[in-house]
Chain A
Amino acid sequence: MTDLLACVGVQKHFGDFVATKGIDLTIDCGEIVGIIGANGAGKTTLLNIISGYLRPDAGKIIFQGADVTGTPPRILVRRGIARSFQIPQLFTRSTALQNMMLALSLLVEPTSSIMQTFEDARLAGDARHVLASYGIDQHADMVVGLVPQGVRKLLDIAMATCAHPKLVLLDEPTSGVSSEEKHGLMQRLVERFTAASTTAVFIEHDMDIVRQYSSRVVALCDGEIIADASADDVFADAGVIQRITGQPKSARAT
């Protein structure tokens, strides 16, 4: 039993629109899985269901052998499922440092009491250390609403993963990051996940990134999995070329 996560027949519809049509997917410990698919294919819905934000209409989510279907995010995050967002979800009126401090005080020390002050030197030191490890400590004292999008993206991931989760779900980690920085960012994240033996699932539109950093690729189309194999096999798949990636060497479809 190395299954970390299993989705069994996961279905979700919003009114008449079917977002996922019975998805079966298992993720093993230590995998780095890339999810590709056109807009509206059901990628984010799948992450929302796995992380507990949405309850599926049918099907089950099994995490470490336990049924966690419909368990809210705040419980799942303590069990080890972390998640970052396509649009960074931050406390925009606080500084980057304060954001990180809040994440550490909640995720790493969940027993934080009323008697512990927030403006604590050790907490601030730890937060600065995490920011430095992502190379964004020069923005530490800036209000988050004013820092560049790429930094916000990193901060979002840093806050989501600071508690050393078992499974990390990343929704488009490189969107909004400049093309020169994309590979550096992914390199850094994958090194971290490998070192901490964290399993990762990421949604990505940049096929170079997917090819280079995923140990396995899952292709979604209209709420169904149309391919699930190694990166090379998926990108060679006729259905994937036709419906998602387009012809090789031609302009990349979105």
Chain B
Amino acid sequence: MSRPRADWTIVAIVVIALALSLAAAFIPGWIRYVSQNALAAALASIGVMILLRAGLLSFGQGLFYFLGAYAVALLNKHFAVTDAAVTVMIGAVCAGAVASVLGFFIASYRGIFFSMLTLAISMVVYGIATKLSFFGGSDGLNIGTLSFFGYRPRGAELQIMSFRFCIWTSALCGVGAHIFLRSRLGKVLEAIEDNEIRLEYLGRSVRDTIHIAYAAAGVLAGIGGALAGQAARHVDPSFAYWTTAGDFIFVVLLSGQASVLSPFAGSFTLEVLRTFASALFPNEWQLALGATMLAIVLFLPSGLGHLVVLIVRAFKRRAEAREVIEQ
């Protein structure tokens, strides 16, 4: 191991989390709620990004979002477990366990087969959830109240605590995902899309690597779903519907996959876009989202993250030009 160096991505995540949790009381309630939804979706989107690095497009991350959210709601309803951290952890374990089992079978598929299978499994669960009264049918379930390590806030204080909890859970997951992506295993993941034969001849099982990535993406989506459930204090089967998974893909498309920070930015952009589009054009808001997607695909195929690269490049070029003139 080399000596530890400052990793600016981790620093950025911690600084932003710290700033937001300190400012929590001064942020309007609706912004906190939108942010919590954005963070929850961002975690699931990081999972999509991890799989996309290996060239796999999952249309079924909604399944794990659903599992995480329902773990929180069912624990609350049947076992009166209200602790936010405990329920999120159990949600993550449930989603991770299901992803690990499904992974045995799904890790051998690539391309459109992988996408369609993940979609199909998710839709089957959606169908079951809408019919079973255990899951509250198509109405879903309410989440009574939340507690935080024994602390039981009420009213506005509950919302602020829930916001802070969401921020630090997301930050922790963001750091974890970043460490995974920058690791040697993370590099193997990128190599899968490039050349599977060479990887096998380097002694690495492609299948096992995809299996690990799929499980990790499942855990992230599970935590995201649990956070989304806690934010709305309500869960319903639409979490497993394919449009939920579509949102996560949209986020990655919007932001690009340069860094673990990208899906966070993409997810906030999508939430803001959706909030304003539905306020300004109540009946045509989906049209606005579609137009944005089209514009991104046409003009910024590497995502909004590429804008940062372009701006930095433009500044460098200007600085270089100035040097030439001054000489």
Do A and B share a complex?
yes
| Chain A residues close to B by CB (< 8 Å) | 51, 72-75, 77-78, 82-83, 85, 89-94, 98, 101-103, 105-107, 110, 112-122, 159-160, 163
Given A92-B194, A120-B2, answer yes or no on A114-B179 (Cβ-Cβ < 8 Å).
yes
A-B contact list, 27 entries, CB within 8 Å: A72-B200, A73-B201, A74-B201, A74-B203, A74-B205, A77-B201, A77-B202, A82-B201, A89-B198, A90-B198, A91-B190, A91-B194, A92-B195, A94-B194, A102-B184, A106-B203, A110-B203, A112-B185, A113-B183, A114-B179, A114-B186, A116-B1, A117-B182, A118-B184, A118-B186, A120-B1, A120-B2
Residue contact B191 to A94, C-beta cutoff 8 Å:
yes
Cβ contact within 8 Å between B183 and A106:
no
The residue on B at minimum CB distance from A77 is B203
Interface residue ranges of B177-216 to A (CB < 8 Å) = 179-180, 182-188, 190-191, 194-195, 197-205
Query: CB distance A91 to B195 under 8 Å?
Result: yes
User: How far apart sit A160 and B202, CA to CA, in the bound complex (Å)?
Assistant: 7
Given contacts A91-B195, A94-B191, A102-B188, contact A115 B202 (CB under 8 A): no
Give chain B's interface residue range (CB within 8 Å of chain A).
20 to 34
How far apart are the CA atoms of A102 and B186 in the complex, in Å? 11
On chain B, the residues within 8 Å of A160 by CB distance are 201
Which residues of A lie under 8 Å from residue B185 when comparing CB positions?
Answer: 112-114
* B203 and A105 within 8 A (CB): no
Write out the residue numbers on chain A whose beta carbons fall within 8 Å of the beta carbon of B191: 91, 94, 102
Contacting pair B202 A107 (CB below 8 A): yes
Do A118 and B182 have beta carbons less than 8 Å apart? yes
Chain B residue with the shortest CB-CB distance to A105: B184
| B277 smallest CB distance to A (angstroms) | 36
Q: Which of B197, B198, B199 has the most CB of A within 10 A?
A: B198
Contact flags B276-295 to A (C-beta < 8 A → 1, else 0)? 00000000000000000000
